[in-house]
Amino acid sequence: MNVLKVQSKVADKNTKATVIKDDNGYYKVTLGFLNTYNKAGVFYRLVDYDKFLGKNSLVGKRIDEGILIGEDNHPNVDGFSELELKRRTLFLDKKNASIHIKAIEVNKTGEIDKTFNLPVYQIFGWIKPIGDTKQVMIDLLECEDSNVSFSLRSVVRQNRIGGILVRDFLLISTWDTVHSNGVKNATQWNAAGFEDDMTIVLDSINDLDDVVKGFESSGMTCKDGVCTIEHIKTEMSNQRHINTIYDW
């Protein structure tokens, strides 16, 4: 009798995929890869990683203040106006939190992309499951045959270069836990995690102005809100005449 057998890549290769965990319950995972293509053939380009992932970046400040969280799935923005969408892209909803991110590590993989001759970066994160999905996340992270998924929330500039759709980062907001991958090899079996791909294109050249106004009018007084506004104002002065994309 013929038998059809379908199993995970880990089981198929008979390998182990144990995730590193520290004494405080934080797991080392791969949040994603940059300077590479997603499954849709879009190239995510990051030239100055310190500017967008360093200590003075939006992500860096959120980590320093202990407030960088990821949500359970990307926020549902059905029916949102453009302004509401922009505000929600940057806002971190504690009520929907699934992970706390205490640190990130930007690692040069040693691979050079063949398109722009840039180093490929692997973004590691130390994450701790929290909120309503805490136990489910822990069980998945500790299961050798599961693939826990993460997805970047960011603002990028989009251009077509030599027929290639390229997205250059303007800022990075956070990583959410999701159900589907968009970046090749960013999987739990590369220390857990991969990226989904959900992109919303905005046409206005004043997008960043609207974000600032929306955030200021929301009544938020937390450090996170102030940090976000200051960061975007800096970027805004250099990005008046380009379209922006809210990508997550």
Out of 57-61, 149-153, 227-231, which region has the weakest mean confidence (pLDDT)?
A: 227-231
Greater model confidence, 180 or 179: 179
Out of 163-167, 187-191, 202-206, which region has the weakest mean confidence (pLDDT)?
A: 187-191
Calculate mean pLDDT across residues 37-58: 88
Tracing tokens 């007084």 back to the chain, one arrives at 221
Greater model confidence, 228 or 222: 228
Query: What are the structural domain ranges in the chain?
Result: 21-247
Strands (DSSP E) along the chain, which ranges? Answer: 27-34, 36-37, 43-45, 69-71, 97-112, 119-129, 149-161, 164-178, 199-201, 244-247
pLDDT higher than 50, residue 204: no
pLDDT tens for 104-153 read 999 999 999 999 999 999 999 999 999 999 999 999 999 888 888 888 88
pLDDT higher than 70, residue 101: yes
**Quick one: pLDDT band at residue 49, thresholds 50, 70, 90?**
confident
Q: How far is CA 62 from CA 56, 66, 71, 108, 222, in A?
A: 9, 6, 15, 23, 11
pLDDT higher than 90, residue 11: no
**Quick one: pLDDT band at residue 157, thresholds 50, 70, 90?**
confident
What confidence score (pLDDT) does residue 88 get? Answer: 81
**Quick one: pLDDT band at residue 86, thresholds 50, 70, 90?**
confident
Phi then psi for residue 89, to 5 deg, are -60, -35
What confidence score (pLDDT) does residue 111 get? Answer: 93
Greater model confidence, 168 or 7: 168
Contact 18, 146 (CB under 8 A): no
What number of other Cβ atoms are within 10 A of residue 242's Cβ? Answer: 14
**How far is it between the farthest Cα atoms of the chain?**
69
**Quick one: pLDDT band at residue 215, thresholds 50, 70, 90?**
low
Contact 139, 75 (CB under 8 A): no
pLDDT higher than 90, residue 100: yes
